[in-house]
Structure 1
């Protein structure tokens, strides 16, 4: 790409740890558009956000959960590159130029890593670090990757690759029982990492320093959810591969006049 890519930043204002005043003012010049998905944010927060960032685009999510917020935001996003920025103020905006630079250098997805040289965290307890190490080990074995920070949700990717995520359709109504659809919940961070890894996309990591959050607390159950997602996505990959082999054997075994019928049936 000869000219700089058009960069949209997507912030999902979901949960009780939203801190938009810490997120919006320091965004670098590379950012063209900021989209904030309103996940029932506290009253007055979006008005404050618009005052901090003229031209802010707000999106109302169709169901509950950060996964649905991401899907709604991606549907409204424009331009070349989408950067997912945490609404709690923990993502250092100074990392955005490095993420975009990794994409323009050939990556499909760029991930901000706390564990590369030059990275770090102001809010990393020992138990979280152990959980991250375990997740990295399991995910790298599952997808044959070399991720240093698989649990990081601070990523940038080319917008036209969003279909890789295969998130639930935003038009589908919420379940009557009040439960979230699979992919609508907080497991979406692991889902994004897993589906890009499973797709064979080129993933590049850049160092970042995670900032301390001023509101909310870290949820240790997130790593357990992420491990379940990795396991499910690994099984999904294996099922797809078995299906491909089954189709190949069927094509070889069937008479030539039936080959086209079989292809059409799949």
Structure 2
């Protein structure tokens, strides 16, 4: 795998990542397709169990100096809203990953089921915090800010992501990438859950993104990604401590556009991006929040807004193409 940053950002496929099979035969509703073990993995000091109830968001202790090593500490961020049944399967599966992750941070969006209690019971060493505003982007930003690891992994709670792929994402970073972008459409990737309409829309949005940002993304609309934590200042996401707008609106980057915002900003910053093959599984329980036409329109709007932002900043800094 090449990890050289060119004059314009290039998406490099990670040829070393093994191909992942789809859902295992016999793994039906209620059965885990992942190996599961709720025990705290060895190799690092265990985190103390938390008191009952989620933490309110608070500024974390100062982050240690960035450490890009061959054995980075990995923080997995899991945003949730009413995902209790899925967490019973997903959290033990993350705990079973080897090499072991450093921490799991569940960021809850004021769930009305027993998501928080299930997270506590299923994985006692996981941290559970409450997001400060509304939206997936705000949940992610809260988790990013609270993370203490060297690498941050974005992980959905619905069971569609395979935690056994986490080492492949980390490996891509260790080999030189700044941002490891999951892809269902590069060699070794796949999906058990995408419709022809969504696949066609994703392909169209890939084309727009690649023209605007000079990238070669094969799967713009996929949220399984990882990056070095020391990049957070460059991403300039909304401050989790900022108040919710009084009119009920959302700050830019607080919603589902967060994944597109990140893809655009790492490209605009000329960071090294490596695509990692990933197999998307079907949601285990509950209903998806995806709305094909509305979400596609929002992604397109995000691409245009982030391109304007990039051009304005480059013009202000005298950047020459």
Q: TM-score, normalised by structure 2?
A: 0.73
Per-residue deviation at 1:22? 3.3
Per-residue deviation at 1:245? 2.9
Q: Find the residue that maps to 1:25 and give its secondary structure.
A: helix
1:6 to 70, 73, 79: 73
Q: Whole-Å Cα distance in 2 between the matches of residues 196 and 2 of structure 1?
A: 21
Unaligned runs of 5+ residues in structure 1 are: 249-266
Q: Does 1:233 align with 2:302?
A: no
Q: Whole-Å Cα distance in 1 between the matches of residues 73 and 83 of structure 2?
A: 31
Q: Whole-Å Cα distance in 1 between the matches of residues 132 and 228 of structure 2?
A: 24
Q: Find the residue that maps to 1:42 and give its secondary structure.
A: coil
Q: Is this contact kept in 1: 2:87–2:119, CA < 8 A?
A: yes
1:66 to 109, 113, 136: 136
Q: Does 1:216 align with 2:287?
A: yes
Q: Find the residue that maps to 1:26 and give its secondary structure.
A: helix
The count of aligned residue pairs is 247
Which residue of structure 2 lines up, in the alignment, with residue 23 of structure 1?
90
List, as ranges, runs of 4+ consecutive aligned residues in structure 1 with deviation greater than 4 Å: 15-18
Per-residue deviation at 1:136? 0.6
Say what the alpha-carbon RMSD is for the aligned residues.
1.8
Q: Does 1:132 align with 2:202?
A: yes
Q: Is this contact kept in 1: 2:182–2:224, CA < 8 A?
A: yes
1:173 to 243, 246, 252: 243
Per-residue deviation at 1:16? 7.1
Q: Is this contact kept in 2: 1:80–1:160, CA < 8 A?
A: yes
Q: Alpha carbons of 1:8 and 1:46: their partners in 2 closer, same or farther (altered >3 Å)?
A: same
| CA deviation map 1:64-120 (0-9, x unaligned) | 111111111111100200000012111111110100000000000101110011110
Moved more, 45-54 or 196-205: 45-54
Of Structure 1 and Structure 2, the greater helix share is in: 1
Trace 1:85-100 onto structure 2 (pairs within 5 A).
85-100=155-170
Point out which structure has higher relative CO (alpha carbons under 8 A, 6+ apart): 2
Q: Find the residue that maps to 1:186 and give its secondary structure.
A: coil
Q: Whole-Å Cα distance in 1 between the matches of residues 287 and 151 of structure 2?
A: 29
Q: TM-score, normalised by structure 1?
A: 0.88
Give the structure with higher Rg (CA).
Answer: 1
Per-residue deviation at 1:42? 2.9
Q: Is this contact kept in 2: 1:18–1:87, CA < 8 A?
A: no
Which residue of structure 1 lines up, in the alignment, with residue 317 of structure 2?
244
Trace 1:75-154 onto structure 2 (pairs within 5 A).
75-154=145-224
| CA deviation map 1:127-166 (0-9, x unaligned) | 0001110111000001101111111111000011112221
Q: Alpha carbons of 1:18 and 1:148: their partners in 2 closer, same or farther (altered >3 Å)?
A: farther
